[in-house]
Amino acid sequence: RKEVEQDPGPFNVPEGATVAFNCTYSNSASQSFFWYRQDCRKEPKLLMSVYSSGNEDGRFTAQLNRASQYISLLIRDSKLSDSATYLCVVNSITFNKFYFGSGTKLNVKP
């Protein structure tokens, strides 16, 4: 079983739409969680960390559900520039392994 699983998409949405991605993780000892963004053929970059109480950064909201072992990312008012692949990342402090999901591709269309 993979450490982190994501729906690969693609999600094709019009500008202005709200879109949500989920990600599940298998290790209940996982301690920290992140969403990264990766543009085509580029390196991943941090979008936001995910805190236990949930957190928001502008149009982006991240949620963590430890009981069900999933995290989510909500993007409101989608922009063309949001088109990218979104990677879910889970870290186990015990082992310091930084595991990535396979990514969810988002295409925002005019």
The piece of 10-18, 56-64, 66-74, 96-104 that touches another protein (CB under 8 A) is 96-104
Q: Which two tokens stand for residue 80?
A: 């063309």
Residue whose token pair is 């085509």: 40
Nearer to another protein, 76 or 91 (CB): 91
CB 71 within 8 A of CB 25: yes
CB 89 within 8 A of CB 4: yes
The piece of 3-11, 12-20, 57-65, 69-77 that touches another protein (CB under 8 A) is 3-11
Binding residues for another protein restricted to 37-56, rule: CB under 8 A: 41-46, 49
Closest C-alpha among 34, 57, 29, 54 to residue 46: 34
User: Which residues sit at the interface with another protein, rule CB under 8 A?
Assistant: 3, 6, 8, 31-32, 34, 41-46, 49, 87, 89, 91, 93, 95-103
